[in-house]
Amino acid sequence: MPARELTGHRSYVFAAEFSPDGRQLATGSADGTVKLWDVARGKCTATIKRHENWVYVLAYSPDGGTLISGDYDGLVLRHNAATGRPWVGRYKASQSIIGLDIHPGGEQVACAGYGRQIDLLDASRLEHLQTLPGRPGLIYGVRYSPDGSLLAAGGAFRSVQLYNTESRKLEVKLKYRDKMGARSLRFTPDGRKLFAALPNAIRWWNRGKEKWREGGILTGHTEIVSCLAVTPDGESLLSAGWDGTVRRWDVATGRQTQLWRWELGKLFHVTVSPDGRTAAATGDANHFVMWELDD
């Protein structure tokens, strides 16, 4: 089956995330809206118009009942994921929100951005809990480990910083040389590998019994690597780049196995459904694509 092109937004589509049951896809756009899509039919079922600036990041709660969105004005909002209607809770950060993730336990939200800080919020009402210390530069992405014990932060500070979520203290710095920093972070489902998207390459680390060890570098993109996604079986990594391509990599060997390209300009986001069969990519266009990975 060829890729499906879905239209409806009036400007660039920045974010896309599948719901935990894989039946719904949420997208966030520079037009200030969040749209909910029926994956099977490829139809928009609701449009959320609560933001006034670019909606840059989205995340579903683990139970799929809540969708959280963050925008360029620093506004973080909760929505009923089934209907798009407002839930109680909002947070106004002092920074543009370009990184956001929900703890696997569902009780906490981490958000970050150009303000060089990571804010921890209570997921039920988006009340501020704490601001984590220790970032020397802009933050592009945050990601919880699958077991919830670590929070990874990447940005313009030549390292991926790992925080212990229990103590909320900086535990490890995984260093690299590129000063432009990591724009996207992904753990494998077993938490044994961590991938970071650098300007035109992907670096990864392996988690040992006592410490993290550098694994290697994946090269192939010719411009900035903007987003990463790992398939649920942990066997494949997808990367999206400003070169207009999505690439598939074998996690075990580091070999590129597939490449896709569409008329989307620079690609901003790639995501994979919970069953690992379907992927979606967004870019420098007012439409996005969904396709079957193994077709």
Give the tens place of pLDDT for each residue, 238-293.
999 999 999 999 999 999 999 999 989 999 999 999 999 999 999 999 999 999 99
pTM to 2 decimals? 0.95
Q: Domains in the chain: how many in total? A: 2
Of 82, 97, 112, the residue at which a domain comes to its end is 97
Helix and strand element counts for the chain (H, E): 0, 28
For residue 281, the enclosing domain spans 133-295
Taking the CA atoms of 199, 249, 55 and 290 in sequence, report the sign of the dihedral they define: positive
Q: Is the pLDDT of residue 132 over 70?
A: yes
CA atoms within 13 A on the CB side of 34: 32
Claim to verify: residue 234 and residue 289 sit in the same structural domain: yes
- The pair of structure tokens assigned to 231 is 């398939």
Of 77, 97, 117, the residue at which a domain comes to its end is 97
124, part of any domain: no
CATH number at residue 33: 2.40.128.630
Backbone dihedral angles phi then psi of residue 106, each to the nearest 5 degrees: 85, 0
Q: Is the pLDDT of residue 177 over 80?
A: no
61, part of any domain: yes
Own/partner pairs, 31-38, CB within 8 angstroms, 24+ separation? 31/286, 32/71, 33/9, 34/58, 34/67, 34/69, 34/79, 34/84, 35/8, 35/9, 36/67, 36/81, 36/84, 37/6
Claim to verify: residue 147 and residue 27 sit in the same structural domain: no
Claim to verify: residue 60 and residue 170 sit in the same structural domain: no
Q: How confident is the model at residue 135 (pLDDT cuts 50, 70, 90)?
A: low
Q: How confident is the model at residue 114 (pLDDT cuts 50, 70, 90)?
A: confident
Claim to verify: residue 272 and residue 146 sit in the same structural domain: yes
The pLDDT > 70 percentage for the chain reads 98
Max Cα–Cα distance, the chain, nearest Å: 49
Q: Is the pLDDT of residue 134 over 90?
A: no
Claim to verify: residue 86 and residue 188 sit in the same structural domain: no
**How do residues 53-112 score in pLDDT, each as one tens digit?**
999 999 999 999 999 999 999 999 999 999 999 999 999 998 899 999 999 999 999 999
Of 97, 119, 152, the residue at which a domain comes to its end is 97
**How do residues 162-176 score in pLDDT, each as one tens digit?**
999 999 999 999 988
Nearest-10 Cα torsion for 223, 270, 36, 42: 100
2, part of any domain: no
6, part of any domain: no
CATH number at residue 158: 2.130.10.10
293, part of any domain: yes
127, part of any domain: no
Claim to verify: residue 147 and residue 271 sit in the same structural domain: yes
The pLDDT value given to residue 282:
97
Q: Higher confidence at residue 138 or residue 93?
A: 93
In 3D space, the residue among 241, 234, 242 whose CA is nearest the CA of residue 272 turns out to be 234
Nearest-10 Cα torsion for 139, 90, 63, 48: -100
271, part of any domain: yes
106, part of any domain: no
Q: Is the pLDDT of residue 116 over 90?
A: no
CA-to-CA separations, 200 to 40, 48, 221, 222, 265, in angstroms, rounded: 34, 34, 5, 6, 16
The pLDDT value given to residue 136:
65
State the DSSP string of 4-23. Answer: EEEE--SS-EEEEEE-TTSS
The pLDDT value given to residue 279:
98
The pLDDT value given to residue 254:
95
Q: How confident is the model at residue 1 (pLDDT cuts 50, 70, 90)?
A: low
Claim to verify: residue 38 and residue 139 sit in the same structural domain: no
Claim to verify: residue 52 and residue 142 sit in the same structural domain: no
